[in-house]
Chains A and B, each alone.
Chain A
Amino acid sequence: MTTAEQTTVVPTGTWNSDPVHSSFGFSVKHMVVATFRGSLTDFDATLTAAEDGTARLEATGRVASVVTADDNLTGHIQSPDFFDAERHPEVRYVSSAIAVDGESLVVQGELTLKGVTKPLELRGTIVGPAAGFDEGLKLGVELEGVIDRTAYGLNWNAPLPTGGFAVGNEVKLSAHLELGKA
């Protein structure tokens, strides 16, 4: 623990994500050379901090809201080759430990995706609280993490004629959260 003047705790209270001003996305290498970005639009995140300084982050996303610009691709992504939205409609993250050092934020926790639960560390920033228009307090939280999609059973791939595969296994996750105090 630091003894500097910087904040080392999440501001006390329950902080809920604003669905309009928050986003969750992922990016993965496509055709070896390019980066494909997708988003999961229907999710909610709650950050809870107790008086004793302990904090907890929980987030749940609905797989049905993973959409792309192509209906056929969206359908394939929803299918058992990828997310299997029928049997695993939700993806979930629950923290086990949160460390704050000034604006730096490190979250230890577990990601459950397609029925598989694995540890995942997220790193980013926490800024605020700041007063909003409606006098409610706002926190800004940005977090990133990296997963191997095949560890969660999202295994689809296709070899390319000149070598390599169509989709990378490493997937970067990023959340940009505007959290309002409940």
Chain B
Amino acid sequence: MVVLGISGSLRADSHNTRLLRAAARELPEGVEFRLLDGLRDVPPYDEDDDRDPAPAAVARLREAIAGADALLISTPEYNSSIPGQLKNALDWASRPRETSPLRFKTVAVIGASTGAFGAVWAQAELRKVLGASGARVVEGDLALGHAHQKWDEGGLLDDDVRGQLRDLLSQLVAEARPADIAA
């Protein structure tokens, strides 16, 4: 079982990337966590470029998603929505629909912001985009508001937030396990 973390924020000290690293520590035993590298390199979506072979950064993105059993995406909120680069990457990954690695992929959505609401509007937008891309979005979520105040001196979250992460991740892993697939 592999969970791929995708941070919608590119900056080095991103709260959302930190949140993903914190989530990695709360995963059930035996689950491997990978953090997507290279979101910045994905070129703007252009249907003229959407052909075989795909641009190298797009191919790496699609392979990373295809190689994971589940995704954990953490998004900041830009103007009440998701960052353009995250949307752009999902647009690439969603095509072509028949072979898209997002199709039927189990995904959990979380978000962090320095405001009070923890990127809830961006999370709603992200869920909509993922659903339209054919992904299986789990119900649970986590909205980390006032994110800049949530890390202790060791860079860790408090027990309450860690518990929320554990609950969400166990839901994600359970939903993604083929053994749980109903007839």
- Chain A residues at the B interface, C-beta cutoff of 8 Å: 71-72, 75-76, 78-81, 84, 86-88, 115, 156
Smallest CB separation, B180 vs chain A (Å): 9
Q: Which residue of B lies closest to A80 (CB)?
A: B136
Q: Which of B101-153 contact A (CB under 8 A)?
A: 103-104, 131-137
User: Across the interface, do A80 and B135 meet the contact criterion of CB distance under 8 Å?
Assistant: yes
Residues of B within 8 A of A86 (CB): 104, 181
10 contacts between A and B (CB under 8 A): A71-B97, A72-B97, A79-B131, A79-B135, A80-B134, A81-B131, A84-B136, A86-B181, A87-B104, A88-B182
CA gap between A156 and B137 in the complex, in Å: 12
Taken residue by residue from 152 to 183, chain B's Cβ proximity to chain A (1 for < 8 Å, 0 otherwise) reads as 00000000000000000000000000000111
Q: Which residue of B lies closest to A89 (CB)?
A: B183
Residues of B within 8 A of A79 (CB): 103-104, 131, 133-135
- Chain B residues at the A interface, C-beta cutoff of 8 Å: 97-98, 103-104, 131-137, 181-183
Smallest CB separation, B32 vs chain A (Å): 23
> With A87-B181, A88-B182 in contact, do A78 and B134 touch (Cβ < 8 Å)?
yes
> With A80-B104, A86-B104 in contact, do A75 and B134 touch (Cβ < 8 Å)?
yes
Q: Which residue of B lies closest to A79 (CB)?
A: B134
Smallest CB separation, B140 vs chain A (Å): 15
Instruction: Please classify the interface of chain A as helix (H, G, I), strand (E, B), loop, or mixed, using the class held by over half of its residues.
Output: loop
Residues of A within 8 A of B132 (CB): 76, 81
> With A75-B103, A86-B104 in contact, do A80 and B131 touch (Cβ < 8 Å)?
yes
User: Across the interface, do A80 and B97 meet the contact criterion of CB distance under 8 Å?
Assistant: no
Q: Which residue of B lies closest to A114 (CB)?
A: B182
Residues of A within 8 A of B135 (CB): 79-80
Residues of B within 8 A of A76 (CB): 132, 134
User: Across the interface, do B97 and A156 meet the contact criterion of CB distance under 8 Å?
Assistant: no
Residues of B within 8 A of A78 (CB): 134
Residues of B within 8 A of A84 (CB): 104, 136
Residues of A within 8 A of B181 (CB): 86-87
Smallest CB separation, A156 vs chain B (Å): 7
Smallest CB separation, A131 vs chain B (Å): 40
Smallest CB separation, B142 vs chain A (Å): 20
User: Across the interface, do A87 and B182 meet the contact criterion of CB distance under 8 Å?
Assistant: yes
CA gap between A91 and B97 in the complex, in Å: 23
Q: Which residue of A lies closest to B136 (CB)?
A: A80
- Given A75-B98, A75-B134, 20 further pairs, Cβ under 8 A: A71-B97, A76-B134, A79-B104, A79-B134, A79-B135, A80-B104, A80-B134, A80-B135, A80-B136, A80-B137, A81-B134, A84-B136, A86-B104, A86-B181, A87-B181, A87-B182, A88-B182, A115-B182, A115-B183, A156-B131
Closest 8 pairs (CB-CB, A-B): A79-B134, A75-B97, A86-B104, A80-B136, A81-B131, A115-B182, A87-B181, A87-B182
